[in-house]
């Protein structure tokens, strides 16, 4: 539990549950404990900088990123979907990233893991389309949290990201671009030279 999490302990109606997305036993235990879940938010993630795409540590870093950022989403979704499918109205929010459309070689393993999670989210949405489970992909750049502490870049407000996400969920949307930069990047995908080839000005 991080420093930021400790404030939730005394909130009425909130019961903290310890879970490690790389540990199937804790996922199974959490799903058993939280059998009344109607909204699953896959938000766990790790990131690390590398020296370059040919650096010696890229394979090891990629394995770490995928184990948490991709397989973690898969494991938790597998454990909770049978619970969600029994609810009349249930949803899954997968927290993704604008990095899937932005070339940043020093973040290549992280970007690849998030791209895989985006693909999984799209496949999952289609797979569950007849079960009534809503699947929302949340794309966002840097958010002002403990994870981005010390990184001097523009950051989205956590409160604003949450507000936009729940508004999108209530509207029945499948994706939300939760900051201006992500909106711009997504808008370039059909261009002759999309943002993942040449980033727009300001990136």
Is 40 within 8 Å of 76 (Cβ atoms)?
yes
The parent domain of residue 145 ranges over 18-187
Per-residue pLDDT of the chain (203 residues; tens, 9 = 90+): 333 444 566 778 888 898 999 999 999 999 999 999 999 999 999 999 899 898 888 999 999 999 999 999 999 999 999 999 999 889 999 999 999 999 999 999 999 999 999 999 999 999 999 888 999 999 999 888 877 777 777 888 899 999 999 999 999 999 999 999 999 999 999 999 999 999 998 88
Is 11 part of any domain?
no
CA dihedral sign, ordered 113, 153, 147, 139: negative
CB hemisphere CA count around 129 (13 angstroms): 7
* CATH code for position 45: 3.40.50.720
The reply to whether the predicted model has a pTM over 0.75 is yes
Give whole-number Cα distances, 142 to 114, 146, 154, 179, 180, in Å. 14, 11, 7, 9, 11
Is 94 within 8 Å of 138 (Cβ atoms)?
yes
Convert the pLDDT of each residue in 119-173 to its tens digit.
999 999 999 998 889 999 999 998 888 777 777 778 888 999 999 999 999 999 9
Is 1 part of any domain?
no
Task: Give the total number of structural domains in the chain.
Answer: 1
């Amino acid at each position: 539990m991080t420093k930021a999490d400790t404030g939730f302990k005394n909130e009425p109606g909130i019961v903290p549950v310890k879970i490690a997305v790389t540990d199937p036993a804790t996922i199974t235990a959490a799903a058993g404990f939280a059998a009344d879940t109607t909204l699953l938010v896959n938000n766990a993630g790790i990131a690390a900088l590398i020296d370059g795409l040919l650096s010696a540590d890229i394979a090891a870093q990629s394995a770490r990123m995928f184990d948490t950022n991709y397989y973690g989403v898969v494991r938790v979704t597998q454990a909770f979907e049978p619970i969600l499918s029994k609810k009349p109205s249930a949803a899954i929010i997968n927290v993704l990233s604008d990095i899937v459309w932005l070339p940043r070689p020093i973040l290549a393993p992280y970007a690849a893991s998030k791209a895989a999670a985006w693909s999984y989210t799209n496949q999952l949405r289609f797979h569950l389309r007849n079960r009534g489970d809503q699947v929302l992909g949340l794309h966002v750049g840097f958010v002002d949290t403990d994870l981005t502490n010390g990184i001097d870049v523009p950051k989205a407000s956590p409160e604003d990201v949450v507000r936009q996400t729940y508004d999108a969920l209530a509207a029945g949307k499948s994706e939300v671009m939760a900051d201006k930069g992500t909106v711009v990047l997504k808008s370039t995908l059909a261009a002759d030279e999309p943002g993942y080839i040449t980033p727009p000005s300001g990136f």
